[in-house]
Chain A
Amino acid sequence: MDLEKFKVHGEPLIYGAMISIALATIGILVGLTYFKKWGYLWREWLTTVDHKKIGVMYILAALLMLFRGGVDAIMMRLQTAAPEMKFLDAQHYNEVFTTHGLIMILFMAMPFIIGLMNVIVPLQIGARDVAFPRLNAVSFWLFFFGAMLLNISFVIGGSPDAGWSAYFPLASLEFSPTVGNNYYSLALQISGIGTLITGVNFIVTILKMRAPGMKLMKMPMFTWSVLITNVIIVFAFPVLTVALALMMFDRLFGSQFFTMANGGMDMLWANLFWVWGHPEVYIVILPAFGIYSEIIATFSKKNLYGYTSMVFSMLIISLLSFLVWAHHFYTMGQGAMVNSFFSITTMAIAVPTGVKIFNWLFTLRKGRITFTTPMLYTLAFIPIFTIGGVTGVMLAMASADYQYHNTMFLVAHFHYVLIPGAVFAVIAGFHYWFPKVFGFRLNERLGKHSFWWIVISFNVTFFPLFFLGLMGMTRRMYTYSEESGFGPLNMLSFVGAVGLAIGFVLLVYNIYWSTRYMPRDTTSDPWDGRTLEWATHSPMPVYNFAIVPKVQTRDAFWSAKQDNMPLFEDKITKIHMPSNTGKPFILGVIFFFLGFFLVFSMWIPAIVAGVGVLIMLAAMSFDRDHGYYISVDEVMATEKKLMRGETV
């Protein structure tokens, strides 16, 4: 076999990465063995079907990916910090901006949100688990191993280098002959299947497993946003599945979908990619809106203003998200009529989004506001996201877009939307729900420090890019000349990027510090919360609620506290729980190898792995384990312990 194609040559940075990956892996293996944690890891985490633990694993993986994508970001900003930089070569720069985009959207923002919804949604609707706990584990492991597959690309064979949108013919075998885009099609495919399964799982969970009395219009706003998001996932992800499959056929089997000869059509890729890609933006943004709604209501001590209009604006946004995809390629010659249509639908999205912004502001009005860390992120989100939205409308005008198309203006715009819209939201949600999962708060002082670092540095990093764009600096340009005059603003942007990195390091330090020193929370309700997740213990027992709550109003827990409306009236009965299984993890591992063998066109091992997948599916079908019951006595004992503030 030709081992040469596995090698990535000539970059001291990549050799450094190889060595650090090897050292980290050895370190983890030795550590696990030394502390005898293999059994614990397998029993408690790798085989778990508990939605809370799966959620925590999603968030951990997302944080890891945040740093991987962040290192890419720093490298890019450093490379462009001064004219004629020699830090990265053109190929390496291409790979870095491609993986930065892919990782941040698909392996950071989305899993972070899916992690939060895994932890919180069943609790918010008073359920004991998601509808299909084992499938949930399958989803996670497919996502995880898809992410790992993409991540090994830069040390084995080379990363994708045609941009995160992988436009053809650039991404074709002819113009991108390394295995990078094979990794693209397979890693995204594997994790995408996982996401689709999550979509199905959560739609069923939310529609079928709500606590008695919780009508649709009494659901917490985060749950609403998750429901709508998952409907988008179910409709949008199959398009990606097809697009990636066609890409794989083109690259591995020489089919003619996106070629420029033999009847192929490169624009087909752009259309398919963005028919999925634009709704994807809202898959990341809508749950963020849900998180902000919860936080604003909680920390203003008020009901959310305009609940119904919030729901309807999300529904309208989700519909419009499918009607705007061609605004991503106005300048590719589709004619005035088509551009006008997409221009109008795109600008129309600003209307329901504006409704939401005003609703948040009206919720704040006359509220008793407490400036906690999650609330600070929320308050920072509103103006920054509005700048992103307004520049979005600027880009939405097709005629004007000819001016800023493919410049740094665009880069600034979508970072101004996605960072406050998704990253601030998941960090806010992380701070907000952290005590629910672990039983103690993150340190507020450290939290605020990292908040200011992140928010100020964010603006320092991305605001200059608007001007650079208007000055004519195109994106994805790996270097530029002194005479262009792009130097100073790029340097400023690099300084901001370093500040952002400091902010995120502080965030992680906060997790470490708080784990060691923060006092344990004995109330289970540290923020004086409104929704059902605060009505159970923190950290919650495996069965979530000893008694299934009865819901009468929106913000049921708040009513329970304010108006003495009882939530838990039934007696404790025995509780049915699903048992752990290692099969989803093994399935993920096999998928990883299947993807790897396909990337390198190693057909016989790939067929063996494909058969392995079928065998695992059969094994899951034949599995007759129907879970177990927790007896009443056991539930009582656990509840007593939790009441005393012990952990179980």
Chain B
Amino acid sequence: MKIDASKPLEYSTEENSNKIFGFWVFLGAEIPLFATLFTVYFVMVDRFASGPSGSELFEIGPVLIETFLLLTSSFTIGLAVHAMRLGYKKAMMVFMALTLLMGLGFIGIEIDEFFTYVHEGATLQTSGFLSSLFVLLGTHGAHVSFGFLWGTAIMIQVWRQGINPATANKAFIFSLFWHFLDVVWIFIFSFVYLKGLM
């Protein structure tokens, strides 16, 4: 494996830079995926049949905490990548751990939110609006949950093997994924919650 020392570790081999490019293409596919889910949601947003509407359900408090957690975690994963480039393994591990913990907090609040909705009688089966809401939020939440497992797997590898071209590449790609989830959340926050609360 040829290592090009003029590039950051995560880009340093041909395989590595292909993987990063490939992941960007994959994120390119995630855009139509979420765009479709948002479209479905916008089509369904007023079709709440006999169930509750968004303004009756949404509460700004927990959503703000979710937003705070996810946006901060996007910042800490950036710090983790920065530490990685400087070769600080320990700092990198700490920032990744912080990122994942905030991700976990986010998932916890979302699960709690879902339980509250169901408790209030707003289930997946109630109306077209709620079906699309649960599936849009759930898909994003499933991505975060998957990210939590994925990030944990990468942390174990960095911890065991140190920062090398392979682990740096994985961690960097993970950071792209995590930032992307943040972008999607900004759309959810604006167009689902804020618009729904209006």
Q: A residues bordering B, Cβ < 8 Å?
A: 131-132, 196, 199-201, 203-204, 207-209, 234-239, 241-243, 245-246, 249, 253-257, 259, 261-265, 268, 272, 275, 576, 614, 618, 621-622, 624, 626
Contacts and interface: CB of A to CB of B under 8 A. Distances in A.
A272 B135 contact: no
A262 B47 CA distance: 8
Contacts of B59: none
A246 B25 contact: no
A265 B43 contact: yes
Contact of A204 (B25, B37, B124, B139): B25
A618 to B, nearest CB: 5
B33 A132 contact: no
B18 A204 contact: yes
Contacts of B21: 204, 207-208
A264 B47 contact: yes
A131 B124 contact: no
| Contact-size category for B | 35 or more
A199 B29 contact: yes
A243 B40 CA distance: 10
Interface string B10-52: 0000100111011001101111110011001001100111110
B47 A621 contact: no
Interface stretch (B71-79, B102-110, B126-134, B188-196): B126-134
A235 B40 contact: no
Interface of B: 1, 14, 17-19, 21-22, 25-26, 28-33, 36-37, 40, 43-44, 47-51, 124-132, 134-135, 139, 149-150, 153-154, 156-157, 166, 170
A387 to B, nearest CB: 34
B32 A239 contact: yes
A200 B25 CA distance: 6
A204 B126 contact: no
A263 B124 contact: no
A395 B129 CA distance: 36
Contact of B131 (A208, A241, A249): A249
Given A200-B26, A263-B127, A268-B40, A255 B135 contact: yes
Nearest to B154: A621
Contacts of B128: 256-257, 259, 262-265
A241 B33 contact: yes
Nearest to B50: A262
Given A235-B32, A238-B36, A245 B25 contact: no
B36 A272 contact: yes
A255 B47 CA distance: 13
Nearest to A207: B21
A204 B48 CA distance: 43
A197 B170 CA distance: 18
The 5 closest A-B pairs by CB, nearest first: A263-B128, A263-B47, A238-B33, A255-B131, A263-B49
Contacts of A264: 47, 128, 131
Contacts of A201: 22
A614 to B, nearest CB: 7
B25 A257 contact: no
B127 A238 contact: no
A250 to B, nearest CB: 8
B126 to A, nearest CB: 7
A263 B44 contact: yes
A626 B124 contact: no
Contacts of B139: 245
A199 B22 CA distance: 10
A191 to B, nearest CB: 16
- Of the listed residues A200, A263, A622, the one surrounded by the most CB atoms of chain B closer than 10 A to its CB is A263
